Amino acid sequence: MLALDGAGRIVATNRPRWRGRWLSPEDRTDLQSLHARTEMRGEHLLVSLPAAEGRRLYLKAAKNLPVLDWSVAVFFDASAVTRQAATAALIAILLTLIVTGLAWIVAERRLRLQARLRGERAAALRLERRVRDRTRDLTRANQRLGEEVREREAAEAELRRTQDELVQTAKLATLGQMSAALSHEFNQPLAVIRSQADNAELLVQRGRCAEAGESLRKIAAMVDRMATISRTLKGFARKPGTQTQPVPVGPVIDEALMLLSPRIKRSQAQISFERPPRELAVAADAVLLEQVVMNLLVNALDAVGEEGGEIRITTETCGGGEVLIRVIDDGPGIDAEARGHIFDPFFTTKDVGEGLGLGLSIADKIVRDFGGQLVLEESLEGGAGSVFAVHLPQAELAVAG
């Protein structure tokens, strides 16, 4: 501190070197003669004074004492303030750095986010474009497929029409063949009936009634034969889609054997039938199934001939809900060429008047209507004879209540 009198002399100071010095009126503000450097900071005058360790900064506060005509100046050590200011500046810089850093991180993140969003948008657009392309391709493929389906449907309709025409043609051909066979089959008994009727008339006129009766019996036999032929044809002409119901297998075969018993006795064939359990049943129609079995048996009897041979009837259940009825004979069998034709209508190797060639084709048709199959199997152990197998769907017999 220092105190100046009105003339500008330092009259009191705590720095002994300053005592007694004169300060010109100008020097009172810049204190050059005291080796001070001054600078204004806002309203405050900062003074840098020499000190033992160099220079030190002071804040000057001055006051005039008019009574004494003195002016007193006090220099406060400003280094603490400048230190604080430096610290504050440092903190401000650090804060600025942190804030800038944070801002930079945020900006960086935002940029990255924007870049990612841009990338995602671009990928979504690419995907959309691909989906659009793919959809267009698919639509085109669909249209092509639709056209192909329409063409195929048209082709199928055409095929069906052609098939129908073929079936119709085949029907007409069959009808022609059938009428030829029919006239052949009916002509013979008709001729016999005619001659037997004439015969009977003559015999009655001559009073030989017993012989006339014989002729009438022959006529009746011929009528029976014609009735049989007509029945067979009825079976051939029947419509498919017959209602099936559970039919017990054993009784149907028994019935067929019973109906054929005169024929069986005549042929002296050995017939064995392994009777199945009573509850074994198939989905069929009893009368038609009986006709199938009879057709197979008649063929077997024809095959073994009058001298007798062995015929076996077996039944078995197989997997998949199927029942198998086999008619096996030890006759001459069927040669390779005939095998391909035996199910054709009117195919027969029998003499005229003995076979119409309809038995197997009718049996085959009936079995197929039941949802089954009639198969000519290889004869057992490669021996002679024939094995016909009827495959039929198994059925449950309703329990009689």
How is residue 140 written in tokens?
């085109």
Question: Does 347 help bind ligand ADP (rule: CB under 6 A)?
Answer: yes
Helix (H) or strand (E) holding 314: strand 310-318
Select from 174-182, 190-198, 234-242, 328-336 the region that touches ligand ADP (CB under 6 A): 328-336
Select from 22-30, 173-181, 250-258, 331-339 the region that touches ligand ADP (CB under 6 A): 331-339
Question: Does 361 help bind ligand ADP (rule: CB under 6 A)?
Answer: yes
Least Cα distance to 314 among 271, 255, 262, 266 occurs for: 271
Question: Does 234 help bind ligand ADP (rule: CB under 6 A)?
Answer: no
31 vs 327 by CB, closer to ligand ADP: 327
Distance, in Å, from the CA atom of 227 to the CA atom of 166, rounded to the nearest integer, reads 31
Sequence-separated (6 or more) residues with CB below 8 Å from residue 5: 11, 68, 69, 70
Question: Does 330 help bind ligand ADP (rule: CB under 6 A)?
Answer: no
Question: Does 303 help bind ligand ADP (rule: CB under 6 A)?
Answer: yes
Q: Taking CB under 6 A as the criterion, which residues in 4-63 touch ligand ADP? A: none
Which residue in the block uniquely carries the two structure tokens 């037997």? 196
* Minimum distance of ligand ADP from residue 345's CB (angstroms): 8
Helix (H) or strand (E) holding 311: strand 310-318
* Minimum distance of ligand ADP from residue 320's CB (angstroms): 27
Question: Does 300 help bind ligand ADP (rule: CB under 6 A)?
Answer: yes
Which member of 4, 324, 348, 390 binds ligand ADP (CB under 6 A)?
348
Question: Does 267 help bind ligand ADP (rule: CB under 6 A)?
Answer: no
Sequence-separated (6 or more) residues with CB below 8 Å from residue 387: 326, 327, 328, 376, 377, 378, 379, 380
How is residue 358 written in tokens?
């309809």
187 vs 228 by CB, closer to ligand ADP: 228
Question: Does 342 help bind ligand ADP (rule: CB under 6 A)?
Answer: yes
Which member of 71, 244, 299, 315 binds ligand ADP (CB under 6 A)?
299
Which member of 289, 331, 374, 395 binds ligand ADP (CB under 6 A)?
331
How is residue 33 written in tokens?
């003669």
Residue nearest to ligand ADP (CB): 359
Which member of 293, 365, 386, 391 binds ligand ADP (CB under 6 A)?
386
* Minimum distance of ligand ADP from residue 301's CB (angstroms): 9
3-state secondary structure of 77: strand
β 245-248/281-284 pair status: antiparallel
Which member of 117, 338, 352, 380 binds ligand ADP (CB under 6 A)?
338
Q: What DSSP assignment string belongs to 243-262?
A: PPEEEEHHHHHHHHHHHTHH
Which member of 350, 353, 371, 380 binds ligand ADP (CB under 6 A)?
350
Question: Does 329 help bind ligand ADP (rule: CB under 6 A)?
Answer: yes
Q: How far is CA 262 from the centre of its chain?
A: 59
Distance, in Å, from the CA atom of 346 to the CA atom of 185, rounded to the nearest integer, reads 12
For residue 277, give the DSSP letter.
P
Question: Does 364 help bind ligand ADP (rule: CB under 6 A)?
Answer: no
Select from 120-128, 246-254, 268-276, 354-362 the region that touches ligand ADP (CB under 6 A): 354-362
* Minimum distance of ligand ADP from residue 316's CB (angstroms): 19
Distance, in Å, from the CA atom of 167 to the CA atom of 175, rounded to the nearest integer, reads 12
Distance, in Å, from the CA atom of 314 to the CA atom of 326, rounded to the nearest integer, reads 5
Question: Does 325 help bind ligand ADP (rule: CB under 6 A)?
Answer: no
Least Cα distance to 387 among 397, 369, 375 occurs for: 375
Question: Does 228 help bind ligand ADP (rule: CB under 6 A)?
Answer: no
Residues in the site for ligand ADP, rule: CB under 6 A?
295, 299-300, 303, 329, 331, 334, 338, 342, 347-350, 355-361, 386
